[in-house]
Structure 1
Amino acid sequence: MAMTGRRRPRRRQGPILAFLFIMAAIAAAILYWWISERPNTAHETPEYRSLPHPIMLDGEWSEMGAIGQGEGLLIPLKVAEKLLGDGVRYEEDSKSIILTTDKAVLHFKAGELDATMNRKPFTLSFAAKEQDGELYLPFAPLKQLFGIQAVEAATSGIVTLQMPDQSIQTAEVPASSKKGAKLRSGPDKSFPIIEDLAAGTTVTVWGEEDGWYKLQSAEGFLGYAAKSNVVLGEIRRTPSAGSAEEEPFVAWKVTGERINLTWEPVYTANPDTSKIGELTGVNVVSPTWFELKDGSGQIISKADASYSSWARNKGIQVWALFSNGFEPEPTTDALATYETRITMIQQLLAYAKTFKLNGINLDFENVETSDKDNFVQFVRELAPLAHEQNLVLSVDVTPKSNSEYWSLFLDRPRLAEAADFLILMAYDEHWASSPVAGSVASLPWSEQSIVRLLEEDGIPAGKLILGMPYYTRIWTETTSGGETKVSSKTMSMDSVKELIAEKKLTPKLSADTGQNYVEFKEDGATKKIWIEDASSIAKRAELVKKYNLAGAASWRRGFESADIWAALDKALQSRP
């Protein structure tokens, strides 16, 4: 007989497992929430604590440290360069360190206490030194010259460097706070603690991020604290550099009068001043007296005391021109070291004293692009020493172009920072050997040259002088075999007038250039002249006024017609 039985029903476990899974997930979420919301109580030692004196700049670790402390504090050259830019320079071959401000040039060498300040003996208390492959500079002269402040934390050893006239936002952990505040390594309470800030603690605020302030404690530690844990305080200002009693050098003291400079070409002999005549409106002359002789920095002088005396008697300032002779190789050598640069500077200053000059005009052209920084350094070293003798320093610059030797070597913004004036040589738009005939300086091109320096390079208008040509070129175009050859000859204003009268030509205004223009045939060739005259010069003066420039400069005396001086003076000095 077959056996039969009853099957027991299975329990339904699916819902139970699902319920348990959900509960576990909820528990995990609660646990995660509790852990994530719970402040991190761990303390962390910052990386920079591995150095005895880490340096902080503007709320950031510089990744470098100082050596020594107090009066013997030394900071790395790299940090000084970051803070001061062109104000500090190191020449490795000679171990020379040169610090420059608008009033001082301090020169010293690594390992030596003897120095010179503005060419006078000066003794350092501590010498620059090399350590672990880094050069360290004594902090004391940096403070003296640039007004940098060093805040040294007593316990941590952290050094915070502050620039003069720097605005510092302070904050405070409220005195009523029972728990104080935590300075954390990041802008969230999950980050570890760098330092415990007690109630009443004053801190510096360097920024804000996601509801947290980036702070620096009195001991120099950097970190973050919740905004709710601190209260903003006063904004204090670091001390200014230099003495409040020191008066800045004033380059142009003739109130209400624009500079009207003309260059005096001196190739072999100085002019007979009795034959110069009246230079109506001219208030500065720049005789081309000085030229670089060789790479050692020696200078050739053609200076003449009688010319200086003649100018002074007429109330005209003398800004003697110093040229590099347009020779690249000796220029490179002469600019390369402090020793050769100071050789040039000492001669210029001596000549300035001997011939009672009012200024120096630098005309360096045809220079290697690699000499850009060295030329800037030369100007930085010359400027404060020139000012010490009440000399104005101006630098001639070309319009911006891609020409390596004639434009790209000029760092116009840095030159303008160091010198009193830049003189824009706004001519030779079409140079003597140009393959295309054209104006020496069309008005639109001249204006564009001004605008580029003002807008692209940020040159202050009050530091820019517009150079203008008193010469033009007669262009000759000859065509043979379908090919046109172009040649040119420089002409003075009077020469052009005589030619126009001789050929019975009638000049017409060229809309493209803003100048009068003539064209004629001669011996099968086409002759073209874009004319410089009282009309074009007056238009250039209008550009000076339009952009509120410091004044005008003209190349050169001897190329002008008799009516030019009065025409330029009237246009230049008249007020809108």
Structure 2
Amino acid sequence: MIQLVLLIILVIAAIAGIVIWKRYSPSKEQYDMKKYYGIEKDGQLGITVDNKVVEAKGKLSDGKAYVAYDVVRDYINSRFYWDSNENVLLYMLPKDMISVDVGSKDYSVSREKKSEDYVILKTEGNTAYIALDFVQQYTNIDYEMSSNPDHVMIRTKWGKTDVATVKKNTQVRYQGGVKSPVLAELKKKDEVTIIESEENWKKIRTKEGVIGYVKNNTLKNEEKKNITRKFDEQNYSSISKDYTINMAWHNVTNQDANKGVAQKIAQTKGLTTLAPTWVHVADTSGNITSIASSDYVSYAHQQNIEVWMTVRDFDGGISSEQESYELLSYTSRRETLITQLIAEALRVGVDGINVDFEKISDKCGEHYIEFIRELSVKCRQNGLVLSVDNYVPKSFNTQYDRKEQGIVADYVVIMGYDEYYAGSPEAGPVSSYNYVKEGIEETLKEVPAKKVISGIPFFTRLWKETPKTEEELASEKGTDAAEYSVNVESVAYGMDNAQAQIKQAGVETTWDKKAGQNYATWEADGAKYEIWLEDAKSIEPKLKLMQKYKLAGTAEWSLGQESTDIWNLIQKYVN
């Protein structure tokens, strides 16, 4: 009987031991590494970039690693540009353009022909693949190829890195836990990069680019290691003025208006730069129309004022997001536009080009910034200042790529107005203090202060609000318009004319502390009128922001809309 009891106890203990062992013993299950890298077919190359496994858009061909263009653009070097319309790969250097055709070992640097011993660019269906060796020539990267399955580890980040040494042979697991499948084996003395630490596990990356988890007690000698690679970065030199820029856009709509430049300049003080709106893109082929005047430029120069001619993608010729996309997404069309812009700039003798493109959609973003890069090369070659106008940074206008503008252009101009704009569904200030402040602070996260110009308005809007009828409210039900109970329309007025509207209405202004502007409202003819004024009291705090953040200068839209006394104020901050 005792023997039977002992046998039962032993059996129970054995079963318990097996249960415990199964529960807590390390799993030997191997994770499917093709699945890990997202490899679905033969010839596909898995890709790790720094601490991230990205989409497996790579391939091995003739012993060379090729990576899809969008992976190169998004993770490695966004300056590479693929024109799928004309099947050409471009890369802009400070003073040269690199151009590669599909299936070729040859490439051009401006007009100089060069060659490699491998095909640089291949296509498969709609995907363009770039040889990593070619990418590496112009990018501070290193990479390591591994097999089973074929994959590549690409390093783009350098400097202080958390590393550790493997204390004993161990496994890298898919997740933190002994039951998680095994991704790779590590040997004693292997070095790994530490990505993040958890309570008992560390997320690491192996030299082959496998990212997973190891137990804390399997590592030793944790330290910050300075990992570097010798690489000569390209120097994108800029023209930088040794004075505070005071630029005024001059809204010129016809040749006769050019003759009024003397009168316009006469009432200014401290003006350093004029930006006349002379040039419009005429069509999607890249042709321009221009009313530029060499006499205008000569007179401005006599007054020690530079001229940066403005080119626009609206208010003449093309005037839609689709047209701007059709223009900029073709290399030959951008080339036509740039050639004509430079020729016109040299013909009339201007000092620079000011780009005011406001019809850029999300899908057009990469083509737009490529246009800015290409134009910057030609401006650099010809000693012309390149300035680029931008909206106040918001989540919906990141496609303008202010960071890249800050590298390749000489100046980035913030249009700190149109907070509430023509067609806005509700009334509000054109340029509140906080709106201008936000524009400066957000831009400075991407662009050096010495390249930033803060644009302010010489105009405001008189808003008229009328109640919607029951029929209008019913027809708008379920739409965004239903959020607003009034119809809103507005008229833009310069400083003096805005004051005249208030005087005519017979009302007094009050200070709107939130907007940082004088405000007036009144009712007439069944409508409510509202206006936030631009005057010395609203402009000065905005100029102080320019001074506080040590910006390159200020810009005003537009010359002729200001009250004459405003120049005394501006002069205090630009001289």
User: What range is the shorter-chain TM-score in?
Assistant: 0.7 to 0.9
Q: Which residue is equivalent to 2:475?
A: none
Greater alpha carbon shift after TM alignment, 358-367 vs 282-291: 358-367
Q: Which residue is equivalent to 2:225?
A: 235
Q: Which residue is equivalent to 2:512?
A: 511
Q: How does 1:154-303 map to 2 (within 5 A)?
A: 159-173=152-166, 181-185=169-173, 194-195=184-185, 197=187, 200-208=189-197, 211-213=200-202, 226=215, 227-228=217-218, 230-232=220-222, 235-239=225-229, 241-243=231-233, 247-254=235-242, 257-269=243-255, 270-275=258-263, 276-277=265-266, 279-303=268-292
Q: Which residue is equivalent to 1:148?
A: 141
Equivalent of 1:441 in 417, 430, 448? 430
Greater alpha carbon shift after TM alignment, 549-558 vs 504-513: 504-513
Equivalent of 1:74 in 66, 77, 102? 66
Closer/same/farther in 2, CA of residues 136 and 298 from structure 1, 3 Å limit: same
Aligned partners of 1:349 and 1:169: how far apart in 2? 49
Q: How does 1:116-155 map to 2 (within 5 A)?
A: 116-117=108-109, 119-125=110-116, 126-131=119-124, 134-152=127-145
Query: Which whole-Å deviations, capped at 9, do the CAs of 1:276-311 have from their partners, x for residues lacking one?
Result: 326322222211121101110111222233333444
Query: Which whole-Å deviations, capped at 9, do the CAs of 1:211-230 have from their partners, x for residues lacking one?
Result: 45555555666666554454
Aligned partners of 2:444 and 2:244: how far apart in 1? 22
Q: 1:263 Cα shift?
A: 0.7
Aligned partners of 2:389 and 2:100: how far apart in 1? 30
Match of 1:263, as an amino acid? W
Q: Is structure 2 residue 90 aligned with structure 1 residue 98? A: yes
Q: Is structure 2 residue 543 aligned with structure 1 residue 551? A: no
Q: Which residue is equivalent to 1:540?
A: 542
Q: Secondary structure at the match of 1:320?
A: strand
Q: Secondary structure at the match of 1:67?
A: strand
CA contact under 8 A between 2:300 and 2:306: conserved in structure 1?
Answer: yes
Closer/same/farther in 2, CA of residues 28 and 394 from structure 1, 3 Å limit: same
Equivalent of 2:11 in 24, 27, 32? 24
Aligned partners of 1:521 and 1:183: how far apart in 2? 77
Q: Which residue is equivalent to 1:343?
A: 336
Q: Is structure 2 residue 388 aligned with structure 1 residue 414? A: no
CA contact under 8 A between 2:458 and 2:495: conserved in structure 1?
Answer: yes
Aligned partners of 1:192 and 1:489: how far apart in 2? 68
CA contact under 8 A between 2:170 and 2:218: conserved in structure 1?
Answer: no
Q: 1:111 Cα shift?
A: 1.6
Aligned partners of 2:66 and 2:104: how far apart in 1? 14
Closer/same/farther in 2, CA of residues 564 and 80 from structure 1, 3 Å limit: same
Closer/same/farther in 2, CA of residues 36 and 464 from structure 1, 3 Å limit: same
Match of 1:423, as an amino acid? V
Q: Secondary structure at the match of 2:285?
A: coil
Q: Which residue is equivalent to 1:319?
A: 308
Closer/same/farther in 2, CA of residues 385 and 32 from structure 1, 3 Å limit: farther
Aligned partners of 1:497 and 1:193: how far apart in 2? 73
Equivalent of 2:296 in 285, 292, 307? 307
Q: Secondary structure at the match of 2:138?
A: helix
Q: Secondary structure at the match of 1:252?
A: coil
Q: 1:559 Cα shift?
A: 2.2
Q: 1:528 Cα shift?
A: 7.3
Aligned residues: percent identity? 25
Q: Which residue is equivalent to 1:359?
A: 352
Q: 1:24 Cα shift?
A: 1.3
CA contact under 8 A between 2:164 and 2:194: conserved in structure 1?
Answer: yes
Aligned partners of 1:44 and 1:524: how far apart in 2? 73
CA contact under 8 A between 2:106 and 2:114: conserved in structure 1?
Answer: yes
CA contact under 8 A between 1:261 and 1:554: conserved in structure 2?
Answer: yes
Match of 1:465, as an amino acid? I
Q: 1:25 Cα shift?
A: 1.8
Q: Secondary structure at the match of 1:343?
A: helix
CA contact under 8 A between 1:426 and 1:446: conserved in structure 2?
Answer: no
CA contact under 8 A between 1:413 and 1:457: conserved in structure 2?
Answer: no
TM-score normalised over the length of structure 2: 0.74
Aligned partners of 1:322 and 1:383: how far apart in 2? 14
Q: 1:349 Cα shift?
A: 3.1
Aligned partners of 2:15 and 2:524: how far apart in 1? 101
Q: Give structure 1 stretches of 5+ with no counterpart.
A: 1-12, 175-179, 402-406
Closer/same/farther in 2, CA of residues 250 and 201 from structure 1, 3 Å limit: same
Kindly name which structure, 1 or 2, has the bigger radius of gyration based on alpha carbons: 1
Q: 1:248 Cα shift?
A: 4.5
Query: Which whole-Å deviations, capped at 9, do the CAs of 1:406-440 have from their partners, x for residues lacking one?
Result: x95x336623432444433344456567787x676
Aligned partners of 2:298 and 2:228: how far apart in 1? 48
Aligned partners of 1:46 and 1:374: how far apart in 2? 37
Q: 1:235 Cα shift?
A: 0.8
Q: Secondary structure at the match of 1:146?
A: coil
Closer/same/farther in 2, CA of residues 150 and 478 from structure 1, 3 Å limit: closer
What RMSD over aligned residues (CA atoms) do the two structures have, in Å? 4.8
Q: Which residue is equivalent to 1:177?
A: none
Aligned partners of 1:498 and 1:61: how far apart in 2? 63
TM-score normalised over the length of structure 1: 0.74
Aligned partners of 1:330 and 1:562: how far apart in 2? 39
Q: Is structure 2 residue 415 aligned with structure 1 residue 425? A: yes
Match of 1:109, as an amino acid? D
Q: Secondary structure at the match of 2:292?
A: coil
CA contact under 8 A between 2:512 and 2:519: conserved in structure 1?
Answer: no
Q: Secondary structure at the match of 2:232?
A: coil
Q: Secondary structure at the match of 2:567?
A: helix
Closer/same/farther in 2, CA of residues 115 and 509 from structure 1, 3 Å limit: farther
Query: Which whole-Å deviations, capped at 9, do the CAs of 1:439-471 have from their partners, x for residues lacking one?
Result: 7635xx342354267459955582553322223
Q: Which residue is equivalent to 1:56?
A: 48
